[in-house]
A and B are shown apart, each in its own frame.
Chain A
């Protein structure tokens, strides 16, 4: 209590050698959650696989092998050139391991882009709404309520199925398309379709972050330090971006991590139902969809994309759980 009475800048306090930084404390707490650490390991492996897909994939993504083209082949099938397909081939004779790597790239890219954009969007809107209040707050709150009260899956399905059938294109600058096309390791025409899908997921996905941030802003704006900031002449923008948002970032990080799992599942579900990522772009969801039609003769097929899909969603959820424990010890049960 005595320390807080002295108005000295926090950063000027001399650090002792042994003292832990905030980051180190969080890291230490996170490391205690064994399953979350295992989650990080899984994600890093998947991420590396996805990132290096063009370099480590034994075949090219869409290479159709006429010799084994008519039906799926089990792991260890030889290609006509005498190369081994480590996880077998699909019904067109395309190498499953290669498509799995590129699929990881597509699924993970979609998840990261969608989550980053929708969390940013949600954070800024939510913070502004909570901090400013007034008509803007009413507008955002009503919008969030609206989006939360509609039946999500049916509407997601219908929107995706129609927009993807129409070849709808968002008016985006070329560098966005080429960036996404690089992220997906897929040609720009394919990237365009995926952008539409991501757009739909973002439209429905920003509400969680907005609600969290709005709540934080509402409580923070009445606290003494905001009053103090105003007294020293800080502008609203500065208070919001330098003080309100950083203060509320912990629950947002947790929300984002759980959101990653949610988006991976949503994309896989949509692709599985045939309204998400479209062939020939591989995604774990549409690989499972093809696998379903061949699984009676070739039972290993759904396991190839299914196991990594499950590992990734479970890993993201465990990381979220670990982050929650590490960032906010009060929530520890």
Chain B
């Protein structure tokens, strides 16, 4: 049962344990060969990850609820001393735990999961799950303005990573365990599997990969099934009747998108400005930063806005049903930005998903109400604006445009608002991108000294394609059905040294002038080229393929045919080693793709 392979340290990732892991992995899978291959086994494992993550998230949610009820009561009343005493004292306890027992659990957990995928070979210490559970549960339950979703994501990722290490699966699969677990944790927290999958792809993995989509979906769905079996399938909110008055109302949603984009920038910039400065303060101050953040949040609550405490789903629900006037909604949005910023930058473990939804919901309600006052014929119900507003902050602040749309649809279960959501989110995303170049999660990783890939970078990057390096169709193309001497006569006037040969009935080959001459001298002039050339065809490319795919062949073949996708005998052009490298060189540097 015992295994000598040591766990990989987060701080000093070493290659030797991984080598051991690869060896033991081979041993393991050799024994199960014929029953399960690694792919099938991994997919089954994903279901178990979903189950374990779901169970953990159920407990996490109970822990938060229990803490909240025990410390603050079912409905905190304003002007109660508990409002600032509880989060302050809890902040002190959390700070001690973070500094002495669970280092590395500060913040939301999204970046740590991403780092695990790209830097630490899928390694997330199990201690992280335990620490995140305790500290985030205490912080959120005591009223710190943070959400439970990002910690759930990290708890799921941590469980998956621990399981993968226990089972000593291959390094390649172990890397994927973190996002698989992350999707399970997030799906369980939001009760929204599609959004969780999209978020993990958009933000954690950072690129679309069909290879892991199945495993991420499996884990997300199984975790949601577990959560629903315990906590029911009730949506997070009681969705009001949504009213969309018509195309002209899209102008109002565009305005909401712009306001949401500006709020996102303000929120992101305040987090980005304060976080490194607070982190740079002497270590002893870190004992008091979460407590001071709790005190500030508590004071906001004490002065009449207890809604800013915790995740705030209840208040979002009330806003959705027109319980607040627009001035209150606007103030709640502003105070929530302040409360969440101080809670987050103080190093308190907790997430920003729920606060982003909260701020967006309040802004949406405020903007909708103001628009209704100014243009009563233009705007529909407040509930619709609150719902759309949730997605606006998700798109602008977290910069996950696809997730933001599906999040609103899944949370609301209402597909009638898809057009307003897309319009508002697009505006919010564009405003945020133009005023804040670096997305919030990238900014946080860079502040931590890490540079991780992101889907937004990929979107902005121009991809070189085969057609960019393609040379014109050569003047001389030989036929495999012609005799060697006839082909030799055809190339005599050409200055090229190598020629493409069109094979019959399909395929391409290559032959040099020297080889043709040698065949002729060997008395094979009466033979067809097909009979003297190797049976294996030359690889061919299509014009729209990434140029990276040509790199695999340019060292082995001097010419590679680029053919039409509809007719492989129709030559569109050729690429050569020189043309490919020249194209890469013209961009400043040769990019070596990961597949090489």
A and B from one assembly? Answer: no
Residues of A within 8 A of B (CB): none
